[in-house]
Chains A and B, each alone.
Chain A
Amino acid sequence: MLSFIRKRSLSSLISLIGLLVLVFFLSRLTGDPAALFLPVEASAEMKQQFRELHGLNDPLLVQFGHYVGSVMTGDLGESLRKARPALDVVLEAFIWTLWLAAITMSLVAVAAIVVGSLAAFRSGGFFDRFSSMISLIGASVPDFWLAIVAIVVFSIQLAWLPTSGTGSVLHWILPIAVLFVRPFGIIVQVVRGSMIGALSSAYVKTARAKGVKAGPIIFVHALRNAMLPVITVMGDQAASLLNGAVIVETIFGFPGVGKLMIDSILQRDFNVVLAAILVTAIAIFIMNVLIDLAYALLDPRIRH
């Protein structure tokens, strides 16, 4: 197992370095941060001074050398816009995103597995058709629309929840509810499909013939075998949440990493972009390792 993790870490490290090199040069291709930091009226001399101050006048390779040097010592540089360490800025935001993603995905996993399994158990029945409709709507509804409607209904009309922001448990409910919908819709479908396969297999028929009750059949015998594709899709969905839920963060004023990353790209705050990519890439790598471990746990064929 350890050697497996070691191998994965090494290959991930290589792709991470490749990614950082690529982003370093690509981001610099977008142009000059001075033009965005300073107002349009700023003189060429002021822009020149700004570039000098931030080492942007050096040849690209020299800048890259400096960057690599400081990354080696754990220094990811300073944010141009915020005049503070880029890593601090990113970690501050990433904690929020991590919590948001973790809570949302946990709720999605429980809800989707229960609903999907029950739908599969009586496939073609009322519950199946009902849940299919709900999950289809969930998977296709645009989240910006859902977010605004949720605010209008729950904050303005009913006045149950705050419109946006942070500060109390109540503030988390709407963003999580909105983020919940799409992955839930997608994963219910996957669970259902996978369960139908598992439920029609020979060992389930045997169990039924032996008089095992529906509950244990679904949740003990079939589910474990049906989980492998579900975990893959859940990993995908979780990764996209870890990259930041830009729209939900923007509408709810939630200080996550998605909006930070978009703003930093638009403002050419290169160090923040690189730090954000580094942090999210590491998080996604860790998550992938966890998914592999989960595979191994669930399926002895992989373990051995």
Chain B
Amino acid sequence: MKRTMVFGALMAASLTAGISPAAAGSGPIKIVLAEEADLLEPCMATRSNIGRIIMENVSETLTELDVRGKKGVMPRLAEKWEQNTDGSWRFHLRHGVTFSNGTTFDAKDVKHSFERIMSPKNACESRRYFGGMNVAINIVDDYTIDFKVDPAQPILPLLMSLVTIVPEETPLEFIREPIGTGPYKLSNWTPGQQIVLSARGGYWGEKPQVTQATYLFRADPAVRAAMVQTGEADLSPSISQLDATNTKTDFSYLDSETVYLRIDHNIAPLNDVRVRKALNLAIDRQAFVGSLVPDGAVLATALVPPTTLGWNPDVKVFPFDPDGAKKLLAEAKAAGVPVETPITIIARTANFPNVTEIMEAIQAQLQDVGFKVDLKFVEVAEHEGYYSKPFKEGRGPILVAASHDNSKGDPSFTMFFKYASKGTQAGFSDPKVDDLIQRATAAVGDERAKLWSQLIAYLHDDVVADVLLFHMVGFSRVSERLDFKPTIATNSMLQLSEIGIK
């Protein structure tokens, strides 16, 4: 009898094992993040700590950018779109979509969502993508809507991937319980402890494998790594390189952060192009990769990562040439440039891994060719004061070490702010740069890519705008029970529907 029972149990076990590939593949998961979301406001989803949780999980957008393939802008809540003869954009909306509160999605919700973002009654972050634009919205019918933007916006479909859609009843003020059309709804939020999203019935798209996602928050990277190891969590999108030792669970990925030194061209000796070139030649970028900067990081020739439209493969990284740097400095000195003026590097504490060591090494390399360099570490608020205009009067020559994130596929999210005369972080003003930015922003298709390429080459080779360093990689730990590879967008968006359960 006993033997039969054991046999039966074994049979049952083997049967379950046999069935399991079909039966598995759905269930709850736990995700541990570094920074807690202080708000779950849909119009703040472009901020990474909020977007990672709700973007496309709870709140969806009309379009989305394909970051895994090269399909560009893809339909989401809009099925298709086209440009009308007057330059306005017409979006055809998906039918049969409902919000998690049961109401039906239509053009009125799109109009309200957009107007809410532009309202002065809140501080919606996504508004920044529409600065200087005049947008007139016209509802053609329940499922057709026109956006007329002045000046004309060739990338409006891409910009719509940043506008989260809320029901038209949503108040203009910030809300704490996001209602969206996405595959998940917020089911629990205990501030300081956890946020839980649950899959909801009635979602228009494919049913995701993850039935519930619990988000936990731990500031310490070693703890995040340990939690996946012990099974307390299934996924940590960012762990430290030191902890990424298990090839079965730990992956590195290009994370869209680009590290650079922003040069303030307004102050001597940094107003001299020879000096700026010498700064670039003095740094041995390759020596950092695999030592202070993780293997897999890419040397940067532009402030946007190589997956961006118009990234220019012909622009070459400055070689490590200390003799060349010394020569340029000597030339500049002979021409009366005060090259001995001490230059200050302003860096932000804990801005990216190893920031202290990287900056100290750069300081030493610059000193080796004859620069006088001080290094100053500041907190985020003070850093912002150095990085953004208005710059302080009476400042000395400054290099600001910063990390810039553009995973959005188009350089327009970077170029205006960092390089146009009116850009808030631009360290110089150059009419040709302004002209190229203006033309590229207005262009479409191949012409657009060509103009961005031209700008990238001009900034790097002629203006020598800044000291570009690395496109960084991040490390993630993914439990073996999950089927998931992080992408360049994982920093700002983590779509639960892309996570498979083995």
B230 to A159, Cβ gap below 8 A?
Answer: yes
B127 to A46, Cβ gap below 8 A?
Answer: yes
What are 21 A-to-B residue pairs whose CB atoms are below 8 Å?
Answer: A35-B384, A38-B128, A39-B46, A40-B388, A40-B417, A41-B417, A46-B123, A46-B127, A46-B131, A83-B174, A148-B222, A148-B223, A159-B230, A162-B232, A163-B226, A164-B218, A164-B223, A251-B219, A253-B219, A253-B223, A266-B381
Interface residue B273 (Cβ < 8 Å from any Cβ of A): no
Q: Which of A53, A96, A163 has the most CB of B within 10 A?
A: A163
Interface string of B35-69 (1 = CB under 8 A from A): 00011010000110000000000000000000000
A positions within 8 Å CB-CB of B: 30-31, 35-46, 49-50, 52-53, 79, 81-84, 89, 92-93, 96, 148, 151-152, 155-156, 159, 162-167, 250-253, 255, 259-260, 266, 268
Chain A residues whose C-beta falls within 8 Å of the C-beta of B46 in the assembled complex: 39
Interface residue B284 (Cβ < 8 Å from any Cβ of A): no
Q: A163-B226, A266-B379 given as contacts; is B128 within 8 A of A42 (CB)?
A: yes
Interface string of B404-424 (1 = CB under 8 A from A): 000000000100010000001
Chain A residues whose C-beta falls within 8 Å of the C-beta of B27 in the assembled complex: none
B120 to A84, Cβ gap below 8 A?
Answer: no
Q: A41-B424, A83-B174 given as contacts; is B230 within 8 A of A155 (CB)?
A: yes
Contact of B193 among A35, A165, A260 (CB under 8 A): A165
Interface residue B125 (Cβ < 8 Å from any Cβ of A): yes
Contact of A35 among B125, B217, B388 (CB under 8 A): B388
B123 to A53, Cβ gap below 8 A?
Answer: yes
Interface residue B290 (Cβ < 8 Å from any Cβ of A): no
Interface string of B203-232 (1 = CB under 8 A from A): 000000000000011111011001101101
Q: With the chains together, A163 CA to B30 CA distance in Å?
A: 14
Q: How many chain B residues touch A (Cβ–Cβ < 8 Å)?
A: 44
Closest 10 CB pairs of A and B: A255-B192, A83-B174, A253-B218, A41-B417, A81-B38, A43-B131, A50-B123, A250-B219, A82-B38, A251-B220
B219 to A92, Cβ gap below 8 A?
Answer: no
Interface string of B228-258 (1 = CB under 8 A from A): 0110100000000000000000000000000
Question: Closest CB-CB distance, A50 to chain B, in whole Å?
Answer: 5
Chain B at the A interface: SS class: loop
Given A35-B384, A46-B128, A83-B41, list of 20 further CB < 8 A pairs?
A: A30-B381, A35-B388, A39-B46, A40-B387, A40-B388, A46-B131, A53-B120, A53-B121, A81-B38, A83-B176, A152-B226, A155-B226, A163-B223, A163-B226, A163-B232, A164-B227, A165-B216, A251-B220, A253-B216, A255-B191
Question: Closest CB-CB distance, A216 to chain B, in whole Å?
Answer: 47
Interface string of B372-403 (1 = CB under 8 A from A): 00000001111011011000000000000000
Q: With the chains together, A151 CA to B120 CA distance in Å?
A: 47
B positions within 8 Å CB-CB of A: 38-39, 41, 46-47, 120-123, 125, 127-128, 131-132, 173-174, 176, 191-193, 216-220, 222-223, 226-227, 229-230, 232, 379-382, 384-385, 387-388, 413, 417, 424-425
A151 to B223, Cβ gap below 8 A?
Answer: yes
B38 to A35, Cβ gap below 8 A?
Answer: no
Chain A residues whose C-beta falls within 8 Å of the C-beta of B127 in the assembled complex: 46
Q: With the chains together, A255 CA to B38 CA distance in Å?
A: 13
Chain A residues whose C-beta falls within 8 Å of the C-beta of B425 in the assembled complex: 40-41
Q: With the chains together, A259 CA to B227 CA distance in Å?
A: 20
Question: Closest CB-CB distance, B216 to chain A, in whole Å?
Answer: 6
Question: Closest CB-CB distance, B19 to chain A, in whole Å?
Answer: 30
Q: A53-B122, A81-B39, A164-B227 given as contacts; is B128 within 8 A of A255 (CB)?
A: no
Question: Closest CB-CB distance, A88 to chain B, in whole Å?
Answer: 9
Chain B residues whose C-beta falls within 8 Å of the C-beta of A166 in the assembled complex: 193
Question: Closest CB-CB distance, B152 to chain A, in whole Å?
Answer: 20
Q: With the chains together, A266 CA to B219 CA distance in Å?
A: 15
Question: Closest CB-CB distance, B250 to chain A, in whole Å?
Answer: 15
Contact of A156 among B176, B193, B226 (CB under 8 A): B226
B381 to A83, Cβ gap below 8 A?
Answer: no
A35 to B223, Cβ gap below 8 A?
Answer: no
Chain A residues whose C-beta falls within 8 Å of the C-beta of B230 in the assembled complex: 155-156, 159, 162-163
B381 to A82, Cβ gap below 8 A?
Answer: no
Chain B residues whose C-beta falls within 8 Å of the C-beta of A259 in the assembled complex: 219
Chain B residues whose C-beta falls within 8 Å of the C-beta of A42 in the assembled complex: 125, 128, 424
Chain A residues whose C-beta falls within 8 Å of the C-beta of B220 in the assembled complex: 148, 250-251
Chain A residues whose C-beta falls within 8 Å of the C-beta of B413 in the assembled complex: 41
Q: A38-B128, A152-B226, A163-B227 given as contacts; is B379 within 8 A of A31 (CB)?
A: no
Chain B residues whose C-beta falls within 8 Å of the C-beta of A39 in the assembled complex: 46-47, 125, 128
Contact of A253 among B39, B123, B217 (CB under 8 A): B217
Question: Closest CB-CB distance, A199 to chain B, in whole Å?
Answer: 45
Chain B residues whose C-beta falls within 8 Å of the C-beta of A44 in the assembled complex: 424
Chain B residues whose C-beta falls within 8 Å of the C-beta of A43 in the assembled complex: 128, 131-132, 424
Q: With the chains together, A89 CA to B379 CA distance in Å?
A: 24
B39 to A83, Cβ gap below 8 A?
Answer: yes
